[in-house]
Structure 1
């Protein structure tokens, strides 16, 4: 927000200099992003009036102007501005003036003498407009110093306001903070009621409940809307970043900037009445002031005239009822809308208006009537007219009412780390416009209706701290014994998982928790997706139900940038709609994706592309870190390759999936390489059995190798479970070391060779002991899987 220093000082008398004021604003949380000084060094710049213009004899784009400079006489000026014309009042830089770092001298332009320069706003450093001369009001006195006429020099502060300080989106609101921080004196605002001079009025009806609890309007008849905006008002608007348009529009803008209350002006002759506020009906249409015709949705509030929409409440008025320079009878409107009824509506339409910016953050519900009276006075003083009575429709029970907050003296001292005098605390709070009553424990404080951000005791402590000065709060280290909680050995920390995957060449990725609904649909994972009510963009409209879609998208972006070997992992949260429309269910998950070569390119071994078993090895190593082993069962998922994917189990519980993406999905995602990945629920993976010390056996181990022939469809995991169950406690280790298909093995079968490591802690095993175990294992494999010993 841009704020004129002169305008601000009109509301608060403070001894602070310009630099001190800028520093103070930043220190109290109203950060000054830029400070522009306007109109310095305009000593020899005056108001000039062009008496006549003639074409330059040697240049088509230049004009020779005779300019009345008042006491400085009539001067001949060569000018190339397209808007130079007889009767125009514009800034005139006399010989010797310094404009834009250049000293004006008498010169001959294409053979014609020029005794000065007519100036644009940009050349004077007053505005960015360089399209032509700065046009001054027709009654501007020729020869008057421009700085005096425009009330210069002035300083414009560009403030970066936080969303919670809605009250500071006005000059008046900022003045309260400046008064408190600089021990200044806030000036009373004279808003005397303008007595009605006619009976012209419009009835008002409210049909939006607590979303629009107050609506105030007033008819002013016989207005001369063609009169120019007073120069002082136009300059204040321009320095606030708003280009003056016409008197009626400028008055509503001016009141909004000074008080913080958005307003709108309607042409009374284009209205039927009564005015009202209601929610839009499906498929209603409205032509806005910017020329855009929109189709309304039921969540939009609309201003109505005889039940037809004429404005988008809190955002923008309609084209059909706008005021113009021919308007004779005007209707002023000021209303209070609840922030929840306006938030996100303008963004949904791709609009950004000053009114919506303020209503979304909260506008003082007590302001509408004051704004109407103030705007009435400004219009009547400048353009005449006969105001009618102020008409107000209000639902008092729906208006937000400030509630008293207890500020405890002890709590204030504990949080700030210092003790402030009671008088200083009361001075700060009262200077901010708060009502303060002393009590035994501290103060009972009631915030004004404009301070939506003050609700709890900590809010008041923050107010005291920022006005007293954060730099005045001592930096003291906390004292006392700190209790350090030791990490449980029965759980693996997520940092350990991160380090482990990083050690296996995976890079951590951090993706948005929301993504494109079309992407989820391509993965067939859209079931239960939570749609965002106010998305940042259409491509980020739903919360993710799995990590893999976003992670694979990140992998694809890396592939598109010539990274052919990619390893990524992510720990994050997924969201699925709760049962019966309840709150979304949030689940912490871990996922990884990989593509390209199994090992980085090297000379020591042949290049080989990654496959299912490489990724399974990474996941098994992660499980080993958690002190467990995982089981795998073939599983066909819609997004997965039917023969290269499996569900992952821990202790019989399904915790995730591992495998290759389906070729059709890879093609839809424009991936021309095989992509493998896994995704697991995090919570079931983290428990770790408590390590227990155990003596090593002093007796030798015995190894027996078995080669069995089984059907191709029997997975090793099933055979392993059978062997371990049949072998009993003597089996210390089991691993498969060979897989064979071909000559000597029946078609549709495979040969698996496995090693059984047997050992006892109390004695040396005999051949009889070992043979008994092997016999039991062979019998179990034959009985449960039809396996036979390979001959």
Structure 2
């Protein structure tokens, strides 16, 4: 929100300096982003009129002007501005003036012709960035008057950043209440006396949109001079608020919006057919907007329609967003129809973005506008139009659905609750002063106050809202810093779960960097991964590239890896902990916390000792096994081939324990086809697992180590090439029984001495009993059972 400092001070008198005012606004939550001083140091700059403009005898682009500066006196000025012409009124810096930026005005000779001053552009005066020509002043500007006095200078353009709950501060008057409370002042009452009707001219208004538009106010004004010049005070306030003046009727509606916060629109009444109907748009309905675009609408939009071709047949404005082209006011307009309506936020949110539009009206209605403002705005605009451009106003027409308008309800504010939350006691008189200055109705009660917020402050609904108002106006710096009293209840972390921070540190120790990606992704990216099942599309996305909730972490993580590769990072290792989302019929999306990692490049960082080698599947498997070791989980890897995975280099990951097995997720290399689609040159490996089952761990229990010696027996088997080690290990563990303490695979061989299509696997069986020393007979029985099991289950044979 940008506004003029002088305009604000007109609504709330205060002795605070500009610097103090800016600091106060920031301190009370209206963060000042920029303060631009305007028209400083304009002594010696006056309103002047060019009497004549002749071509310079020695320069094609210069003119020799005779300029009237008041009291019949004229001076000669050499000027190069393209719009310098006889009859133009413009600012003149006289000899001796010092302009903003330090430019001193002196008498000079330009190409042999004397010049006694300088005709100025807006940029040279520091009032606007426009430097295309002289600042053209209205025809009624008094010649010889100090320019600063005529333009209401010096001034400043102040821009503040608003939080979404402070929609009431999208107006100068809304900001004034906060300033009054913070500076110990009061807001000047607004002159909002109704403008009497001088004719019977009116247009019937009908509401067909229910609760979405519960109030619509209109007024006809006939005989308006649409060519009337916008007063300079209004032009300057608009310009200093970031609004470009267009024409008087348009400027009035913009001015009222900035001052009061109520967007409104002016129609050419002669182009409308009564009655005016507010209704939902029809599917495929077309509407030509003020910017010349013709948009196609659906039932989610609201329109203002007239009855040309039938009741409510023609859409003449896009409700709450932009007026229509065919009924706009022009210089030829004589009869005007003003409208101001209350559009609820849910009926406007996202509609403008859907069409690629962002308007001041839509921005305000999306956040909420005072439902009581429409009549006040129409009365204010009517008065300005009649005073400046003439016209005969008809009666104000108001269509209202009172059942859809809620009245503000009183909120209890307890004295003890206020002191407890803030940690200090604020005097009763100060509480009442703050709340009253903010425009709230305050009634004292035995335990505190009963407070009723005005309709513009719909963010004040509960006691904590009022406490926040007291805190920010009284000053957060006045809240003492004290340690909490009383006993704090400590909650010990559960030993049955590995904390996420431990997993993070483990991956960081293994040379991974943590990434944080948006939970929103491009739906097209999920389709590329063939991971769109269960996708949750967003009804109001920030952009087309963030249009769906992610179903997996890997697409976003690989995209981040790709951006690093594109910036000449050959070895990238990233991980992420985050939620994924899956749609559920008739319910909120299911959220699942997952952990994922991706890597590419060399297995280790470059160093002087040792050769580099490319990252492989088992490198990534080792990283995952290190995570599993934190919870004591035993992982089982089973070959799989999802759509995004490389055939033969991919596996599903299972956690196996005494209660069964749980599929955690996937590990492997991306499919070459997917890598090409993602424009990745390097081979990328990754894993993604559900975090909860991975992080579960049994309660640790202390146990004595066996006093009896262990025995190791090594066996080498020849087995078919396609038999995985995990299947052999399962058979060995089942056959060996409780005496098997550990099983290790220490050799894998293919080649001479092993028939084609087979492989040799050498394993070590480590046997131990807790109650006695194992005998040779015990060991031999276990070995025989193991040999029989793997021969029976897998056709394996002892290698000679």
Q: Which residue of 2 aligns with 1:763?
A: 772
Aligned partner (choices 535, 545, 552) of residue 551 of structure 2: 545
Aligned partner (choices 622, 626, 631) of residue 626 of structure 1: 631
Deviation at residue 771 of structure 1 after TM alignment: 0.7
Matched, 1:463 2:469: yes
State how far apart, in whole Å, the 2-side matches of 1:687 and 1:718 are.
Answer: 25
Aligned partner (choices 590, 604, 613) of residue 608 of structure 1: 613
State how far apart, in whole Å, the 2-side matches of 1:114 and 1:549 are.
Answer: 70
Aligned partner (choices 386, 404, 428) of residue 380 of structure 1: 386
Deviation at residue 635 of structure 1 after TM alignment: 1.3
Q: Which residue of 2 aligns with 1:93?
A: 93
Q: Which residue of 1 aligns with 2:502?
A: 496
Supply the RMSD in Å over aligned alpha carbons.
1.5
> Given the superposition, is the C-alpha separation of residues 665 and 257 from structure 1 closer, same or farther in structure 2, using an over 3 Å criterion?
same
Task: Tell which deviates more after alignment, 542-551 or 701-710.
Answer: 701-710
Q: Which residue of 1 aligns with 2:26?
A: 26
Aligned partner (choices 689, 698, 701) of residue 707 of structure 2: 698
Task: Tell which deviates more after alignment, 769-778 or 149-158.
Answer: 149-158
State how far apart, in whole Å, the 2-side matches of 1:39 and 1:568 are.
Answer: 54
Aligned partner (choices 411, 420, 425) of residue 426 of structure 2: 420
> Given the superposition, is the C-alpha separation of residues 33 and 600 from structure 1 closer, same or farther in structure 2, using an over 3 Å criterion?
closer
Instruction: Show CA shifts across 1:556-579 (max 9, x none).
Output: 11222222222111111101111x
Deviation at residue 632 of structure 1 after TM alignment: 1.5
Matched, 1:568 2:574: yes
**Residues 166-245 of structure 1 correspond to what in structure 2 (within 5 A)?**
166-245=167-246
Matched, 1:679 2:677: no
Q: Which residue of 2 aligns with 1:656?
A: 665
State how far apart, in whole Å, the 1-side matches of 2:729 and 2:487 are.
Answer: 53
Q: Which residue of 2 aligns with 1:367?
A: 373
State how far apart, in whole Å, the 1-side matches of 2:72 and 2:126 are.
Answer: 24
State how far apart, in whole Å, the 2-side matches of 1:614 and 1:155 are.
Answer: 63
Deviation at residue 88 of structure 1 after TM alignment: 1.1
State how far apart, in whole Å, the 1-side matches of 2:32 and 2:752 are.
Answer: 83
State how far apart, in whole Å, the 1-side matches of 2:520 and 2:567 are.
Answer: 24
Q: Which residue of 1 aligns with 2:600?
A: 595
Deviation at residue 72 of structure 1 after TM alignment: 6.3
Q: Which residue of 1 aligns with 2:310?
A: none
Task: Tell which deviates more after alignment, 598-607 or 770-779.
Answer: 598-607
State how far apart, in whole Å, the 1-side matches of 2:235 and 2:564 are.
Answer: 54
* Equivalent pair of 1:105/1:116 in contact (CA under 8 Å): yes
Deviation at residue 638 of structure 1 after TM alignment: 0.9
State how far apart, in whole Å, the 2-side matches of 1:185 and 1:139 are.
Answer: 35
* Equivalent pair of 1:739/1:750 in contact (CA under 8 Å): yes
Deviation at residue 603 of structure 1 after TM alignment: 4.6
Q: Which residue of 1 aligns with 2:120?
A: 119
**Residues 471-482 of structure 1 correspond to what in structure 2 (within 5 A)?**
471-482=477-488
**Residues 372-451 of structure 1 correspond to what in structure 2 (within 5 A)?**
372-451=378-457
SS of structure 1 residue aligned to 2:432: helix
Q: Which residue of 2 aligns with 1:583?
A: 588
Deviation at residue 151 of structure 1 after TM alignment: 2.4
SS of structure 1 residue aligned to 2:395: coil
Deviation at residue 525 of structure 1 after TM alignment: 0.3
State how far apart, in whole Å, the 2-side matches of 1:268 and 1:50 are.
Answer: 40
State how far apart, in whole Å, the 2-side matches of 1:568 and 1:140 are.
Answer: 67
State how far apart, in whole Å, the 1-side matches of 2:19 and 2:525 are.
Answer: 53
SS of structure 1 residue aligned to 2:253: helix
SS of structure 1 residue aligned to 2:779: helix
State how far apart, in whole Å, the 1-side matches of 2:570 and 2:173 are.
Answer: 60
Matched, 1:38 2:47: no
Q: TM-score, normalised by structure 2?
A: 0.96
Deviation at residue 103 of structure 1 after TM alignment: 1.8
State how far apart, in whole Å, the 1-side matches of 2:618 and 2:208 are.
Answer: 66
Task: Tell which deviates more after alignment, 32-41 or 561-570.
Answer: 32-41
Instruction: Show CA shifts across 1:106-132 (max 9, x none).
Output: 211112221211111111111111111
State how far apart, in whole Å, the 2-side matches of 1:145 and 1:365 are.
Answer: 43
Q: Which residue of 2 aligns with 1:688?
A: 697
Deviation at residue 255 of structure 1 after TM alignment: 0.7
Q: Which residue of 1 aligns with 2:142?
A: 141
SS of structure 2 residue aligned to 1:99: coil
Structure 2: give runs of 5+ residues left out of the alignment. 308-312
State how far apart, in whole Å, the 1-side matches of 2:783 and 2:614 are.
Answer: 38
Matched, 1:524 2:525: no
* Equivalent pair of 1:120/1:133 in contact (CA under 8 Å): yes
* Equivalent pair of 1:311/1:318 in contact (CA under 8 Å): yes
Deviation at residue 365 of structure 1 after TM alignment: 0.5
* Equivalent pair of 1:197/1:386 in contact (CA under 8 Å): yes
SS of structure 2 residue aligned to 1:557: helix
Q: Which residue of 1 aligns with 2:519?
A: 513
Q: Which residue of 2 aligns with 1:254?
A: 255
* Equivalent pair of 1:72/1:143 in contact (CA under 8 Å): no
State how far apart, in whole Å, the 2-side matches of 1:9 and 1:348 are.
Answer: 38
Deviation at residue 608 of structure 1 after TM alignment: 2.1
State how far apart, in whole Å, the 2-side matches of 1:473 and 1:196 are.
Answer: 53
State how far apart, in whole Å, the 2-side matches of 1:43 and 1:606 are.
Answer: 77
Deviation at residue 37 of structure 1 after TM alignment: 3.1
SS of structure 2 residue aligned to 1:389: strand
Matched, 1:357 2:363: yes
Deviation at residue 673 of structure 1 after TM alignment: 2.3
* Equivalent pair of 1:69/1:75 in contact (CA under 8 Å): yes
State how far apart, in whole Å, the 1-side matches of 2:769 and 2:605 are.
Answer: 43
State how far apart, in whole Å, the 2-side matches of 1:97 and 1:15 are.
Answer: 29
Matched, 1:714 2:715: no
* Equivalent pair of 1:15/1:184 in contact (CA under 8 Å): no
SS of structure 2 residue aligned to 1:779: helix
> Given the superposition, is the C-alpha separation of residues 469 and 640 from structure 1 closer, same or farther in structure 2, using an over 3 Å criterion?
same
Aligned partner (choices 635, 641, 644) of residue 636 of structure 1: 641
SS of structure 2 residue aligned to 1:709: strand
Deviation at residue 184 of structure 1 after TM alignment: 0.9
* Equivalent pair of 1:2/1:159 in contact (CA under 8 Å): yes
Deviation at residue 192 of structure 1 after TM alignment: 1.1
Instruction: Show CA shifts across 1:695-738 (max 9, x none).
Output: 22222221111112222222111111111111111111111111
Instruction: Show CA shifts across 1:211-234 (max 9, x none).
Output: 111111111111111111112212
Q: Which residue of 2 aligns with 1:296?
A: 297
Instruction: Show CA shifts across 1:59-114 (max 9, x none).
Output: 11111111111126011111111111111111111111112322211211112221
> Given the superposition, is the C-alpha separation of residues 603 and 137 from structure 1 closer, same or farther in structure 2, using an over 3 Å criterion?
closer
Matched, 1:272 2:273: yes
Deviation at residue 175 of structure 1 after TM alignment: 1.2
State how far apart, in whole Å, the 1-side matches of 2:26 and 2:775 are.
Answer: 86
Deviation at residue 744 of structure 1 after TM alignment: 3.2
Task: Tell which deviates more after alignment, 630-639 or 734-743.
Answer: 734-743
> Given the superposition, is the C-alpha separation of residues 521 and 385 from structure 1 closer, same or farther in structure 2, using an over 3 Å criterion?
same
Instruction: Show CA shifts across 1:311-339 (max 9, x none).
Output: 11111111111111221111111011001
SS of structure 2 residue aligned to 1:666: helix
* Equivalent pair of 1:365/1:400 in contact (CA under 8 Å): no
State how far apart, in whole Å, the 2-side matches of 1:240 and 1:507 are.
Answer: 46
SS of structure 2 residue aligned to 1:489: coil
